[in-house]
Chains A and B, each alone.
Chain A
Amino acid sequence: MASICFRGIRTHPSFLYPSALFTRRNGVFFCTMQSPQTETKTTIENPKTHIKASPSTQTKANEKILHDYEAIIGIETHVQLSTLTKAFCSCPYIYGAQPNSTVCPICMGLPGALPVFNSKVIEYAVKLGLALNCKLSMNSKFDRKQYFYPDLPKGYQISQFDIPIATGGFIDLDLPLEFGGGHRKFGITRVHMEEDAGKLLHSGTGTYSQEIPFAFTCLLKSFRPYVQVDLNRAGVPLLEIVSEPDMRTGIEAAEYAAEIQRLVRYLGLSNGNMQEGSLRCDVNVSIRPIGQLEFGTKVEIKNMNSFSAMHRAIDFEISRQALLHSQGQGDQIVQETRLWEEGAQKTATMRKKEGLADYRYFPEPDLPEVVLTEDYVDSIRASLPELPEMKRRRYEKMGLSMQDVLFLANDINVCNFFEEAVDKGADVKMAANWIMGDIAAYLKNEKLSISEIKLTPQELTELISSIKGGIISGKIGKEILFELIAKGGTVKALIEEKDLITDPTEIERMIEKVLSENPKQVEQYRGGKTKLQGFFAGQVMKASKGKANPVLLNTILLEKLNTKS
């Protein structure tokens, strides 16, 4: 099955999970709710478990071997654009829509139908080209890439061959601190526009004729194997980003892909969702002994649908190739496409390449040249938002630690929330701490995005200043935060509801009680162990169930401790 699913330069991750398509049929249009933080978290967590999972002796041997080799990694990324319509026809594209419901003669490749290009695709391509620091081709064109396969009924894909819209750029990123940190700059070879293909569902996956008894279905299928075609995705615009072979490790490659995801989300041109196939990465990996100039045989890896899977797949592939080299079996590394098997945590041969595929490219005669004007490019350049790299550098200058910077800048919605709170006067570090701590934990638990909760940046600011100003304790602050997240409302109203203790005599009474219950500590305090003030404050706060006004509490407590003799 797999050998048919994956072909050419495109991936169809959904093929391997056809059931997912069925369950998601009634899904939502813009599925951006999934918090990207979750993905970063997995990137952070999984490699550790991976290393532990593999036999330690083998790992040690591999590490030794790996020292002698250098991996060369290049990535082709397909970004599905979130335009309302397809690239060459006005059909809408809605992820999860009823199969073959958004089709027309153009995307079905019917005779006589002529493509008309969507201007939004040019806009997005120029945006991405500029964001990737590329040189734009003021005149580019489309080409036909011939191949015969039922996912593309025309018999060719409209793509860009020798004159892509953007070339020769780079991307900056910061590696997570868990992986040693550091800044990287990777080259971008080109960005070009093309159309997506339809989806194929291969029979034998058990989702088709559910009403027919199982045994009979099997019998039928063994005689008449067939493929189900859904052409909704045929003709949906893609931008293909080809990197220079600049990456050297799995984590660098995974972070490159994560940065591309951030970039397209910041630019608002794709939801960048890997599970839905809106962001697909094909990775080329080769290794060579350190010091050797020529490249080794390159192997392509597909079927990774998360950044952590990319990281693990590439590291596995590097070890596999290094091991073969070290055993004098370097000739067994052949040019092929390998699939990442998530269950087995390994790559396996999918298809060996017999020479270069002959796509017989030629210029698309049905479409005019794509012409950009300086004015157009300038207006798009002026409309570009602050990009992830700029954002990280600015956050750094605000005094945030690299860990905070990377966390906040990972998600544009989080950035917007954070910046709004800071604009309203929230303390930078405290705002970052609240967002990264309790708020992030809540979002992760509830699988929500920060823009979906009832807490507003304004109220977070209010909450922070209430704690800072000693009106409420941290404990009450936390309680109020969770109420704000779940039910909304204002900090002021919630504080009133809490009927906090602001009566000095009541607080005084509590303090006296605590002091009389702890005569030993009082003696120690008066003997010079002034650090014990915190202990008393804690005891009183506990007695008040966190409701005592912290400023009053501390003032009265100090008074009592220092004056009474």
Chain B
Amino acid sequence: MYSSAVIWVKGGAPYLLLQHQQKQLFSTLSRKKTPLWFSPPSTTPRNFSARSSLQPLDVSRLAETARISLTPTEVEEFAPKIRQVIDWFGQLQAVDLQSIEPALRADTEGDNLRHDLPETFENREAMLAAVPSYEEPYIKVPKVLNKD
């Protein structure tokens, strides 16, 4: 049912981001995997979050933010698995980082920037052909209501 599942933690507050089949837009396309990312605890000078302890798990809410619907059975099935991950983050949070300078990001080599030179993507036709509902020249999606 899900193409991938991503978990991230912001200052200790866990969220589950299940990237569901984006029926609204491209149901045939699977999503790219996003690496696990973990931010330092909120003792850093930066304003990541005021929360310092892990929030209790609420699978239904997580499902809602990821725009997926879960049956009560699924909620029950997922809860222990997700809790395991959260517990693992709990372990990470216990690590003493007082003496460590917070890093903005993982080290990368060089800037990896691009010049502002236009290039036309050659395989546009194939890309649009994969769109489930396309009516020249628009991609058609069901009417969706904003939930935020």
B104/A118 in contact, CB under 8 A: no
Chain A's nearest CB lies how many Å from the CB of B94? Answer: 21
B104/A202 in contact, CB under 8 A: no
Segment at the interface with A among B27-35, B72-80, B82-90: B27-35
The interface residues of chain A lying within 8 Å CB-to-CB of B142 are 225-227
Any chain A CB within 8 A of the CB of B81?
no
Partner of A119, one of B10, B104, B113: B113
The interface residues of chain B lying within 8 Å CB-to-CB of A202 are 143
Indicate whether A100 sits within 8 Å of B112 (C-beta atoms), given known contacts A92-B118, A148-B24, A358-B65.
no
Indicate whether A368 sits within 8 Å of B29 (C-beta atoms), given known contacts A84-B117, A118-B116, A120-B116.
no
B8/A116 in contact, CB under 8 A: no
A contacts with B, residue count (CB < 8 A): 62
A369/B114 in contact, CB under 8 A: no
Indicate whether A363 sits within 8 Å of B39 (C-beta atoms), given known contacts A98-B137, A100-B138, A358-B65.
yes
Any chain B CB within 8 A of the CB of A117?
yes
Partner of B143, one of A4, A99, A118: A4
Chain A's nearest CB lies how many Å from the CB of B129? Answer: 12
CA distance A148 to B145 in the complex (A): 10
CA distance A108 to B135 in the complex (A): 17
Q: Which residues of chain A from 146 to 191 have a CB within 8 Å of any chain B CB?
A: 146-150, 153, 155, 162-163
CA distance A360 to B8 in the complex (A): 9
The interface residues of chain A lying within 8 Å CB-to-CB of B135 are 228
CA distance A369 to B102 in the complex (A): 14
B138/A201 in contact, CB under 8 A: yes
CA distance A558 to B29 in the complex (A): 91
Chain A's nearest CB lies how many Å from the CB of B57? Answer: 16
The interface residues of chain B lying within 8 Å CB-to-CB of A146 are 17, 65
B117/A150 in contact, CB under 8 A: no
Indicate whether A116 sits within 8 Å of B113 (C-beta atoms), given known contacts A141-B104, A201-B138, A360-B15.
yes
Indicate whether A229 sits within 8 Å of B114 (C-beta atoms), given known contacts A92-B120, A147-B148.
no
B114/A4 in contact, CB under 8 A: no
CA distance A111 to B34 in the complex (A): 10
B138/A230 in contact, CB under 8 A: yes
B120/A150 in contact, CB under 8 A: no
CA distance A139 to B140 in the complex (A): 40
Any chain B CB within 8 A of the CB of A365?
yes
CA distance A362 to B12 in the complex (A): 12
CA distance A318 to B62 in the complex (A): 39
CA distance A117 to B108 in the complex (A): 14
A100/B139 in contact, CB under 8 A: yes
CA distance A101 to B29 in the complex (A): 20
Any chain A CB within 8 A of the CB of B146?
yes
Any chain B CB within 8 A of the CB of A258?
no
Hey, which bits of chain A sit against chain B, CB under 8 A?
Answer: 3-4, 7-8, 83-85, 89-92, 98-105, 108, 110-113, 116-120, 122, 139, 141, 146-150, 153, 155, 162-163, 201-203, 225-231, 351, 357-358, 360-363, 365, 368-369, 371
Hey, which bits of chain B sit against chain A, CB under 8 A?
Answer: 8, 10, 15, 17, 19, 22, 24-26, 29-32, 34-35, 37, 39, 46-48, 65, 67, 104-105, 108, 110-121, 124, 127-128, 133, 135, 137-148
Q: With A110-B29, A117-B112, A148-B24 given, can you name 15 additional A-B contacts, CB distance below 8 Å?
A: A90-B119, A103-B124, A103-B127, A104-B127, A118-B113, A120-B115, A122-B113, A150-B25, A203-B143, A227-B140, A227-B144, A351-B146, A358-B65, A362-B37, A363-B37
